[in-house]
Amino acid sequence: MKKLLEANASYGRRRISQVFADFCELSALAIRNSVDHDGWDEREAQYLRVISGYTPEEADRFAHLLAKLSLEFEDDFSDVLGKLYMSLDLGSDHLGQFFTPYEVSSMMAQMTIGNYTEKLEGQEFITVNEPTCGSGGMIVALAAALRGAGVNYQQSMHVVAQDIEATSVHMAYVQLSLLNVPAIVIHGNTLTLEQLDAWPTPAHILGGWDARLRDRAAGVLPTPKPTEASVTSIHSPDIDIEGAA
């Protein structure tokens, strides 16, 4: 994955930080436009603006990169983009963009998983809020811990994640989308409550989570919880990063 990004940096003609940011944005736009019709035209125009700066061969590399990312999640859960970001030396003291190592996130999730499974004994699903989500590694680790405990996180957890930095939002959105995590990833400032955009994952949209969350807020009793705890197979949405988003 790192080599594909470096190749698209055209051997120094582009900053690797921009290539990485463009890949994350293109992937996020393609995934979102595959399921979300609201704002589709604006996102399509942005997609075309970004991809127009790359040759067809470079666009093809982005497609291969997204395919490799999807395959990584089929093997195991990890903060793949967070690790890739740090391996490219893109961390910044000034911006504070150092992502928690996934091993630490996984340990924290394992230490607290009992709190979540206990709550699920008396309710249909839990809600999780991550106000500074970065690449989404903490949520990925929690999903892995729930799966390890025999809980279908795709049905039993909803996430609201937020970050002030656009590339982090795109990273988290892509990873949570590929893992079928029901979530809304907000681009905004947690402290000032300013919100620039909200990115609902395919699992949120296709799973009818707007209605489920409204019903809980209104006190509507849910249907009985399914007894099947297995997680459905993970597949990326039908997207084409080479052409239209």
Segment 35-55, tens digit of pLDDT: 999 999 999 999 999 999 999
Which of 234, 174, 204 minimizes the C-alpha distance to 38? Answer: 204
Q: Is the pLDDT at 67 greater than 60, yes or no? A: yes
Q: What is the pLDDT of residue 76?
A: 85
Q: Is the pLDDT at 146 greater than 60, yes or no? A: yes
Mean pLDDT value across the chain? 87
Report d(CA 242, CA 61) in Å as an integer.
9
CA distances from 4 to 11, 15, 104, 114 (A): 11, 14, 28, 40
- Rg of the chain's alpha carbons, rounded to an integer? 18
Q: Which domains does the chain have, with CATH numbers?
A: 2-87 (no CATH), 102-218 (3.40.50.150)
Better-predicted residue by pLDDT, 174 or 237: 174
Q: Which two tokens mark 205?
A: 């949209």
Segment 158-195, tens digit of pLDDT: 999 999 999 999 999 999 999 999 999 999 998 898 99
Q: What is the pLDDT of residue 233?
A: 37
Q: What is the pLDDT of residue 10?
A: 80
Q: Is the pLDDT at 93 greater than 50, yes or no? A: no
Query: Which of the four pLDDT bands, split at 50, 70 and 90, describes residue 105?
Result: very high
Q: H or E segment at 137?
A: helix 137-148
Q: What percent of the chain has pLDDT over 90?
A: 75
Output the pTM of the full model.
0.87
* Through-space distance between the first and last CA atoms of the chain, rounded to whole angstroms: 21
Q: Which amino acid type is present at position 237?
A: P
Report d(CA 187, CA 171) in Å as an integer.
11
Better-predicted residue by pLDDT, 69 or 225: 69
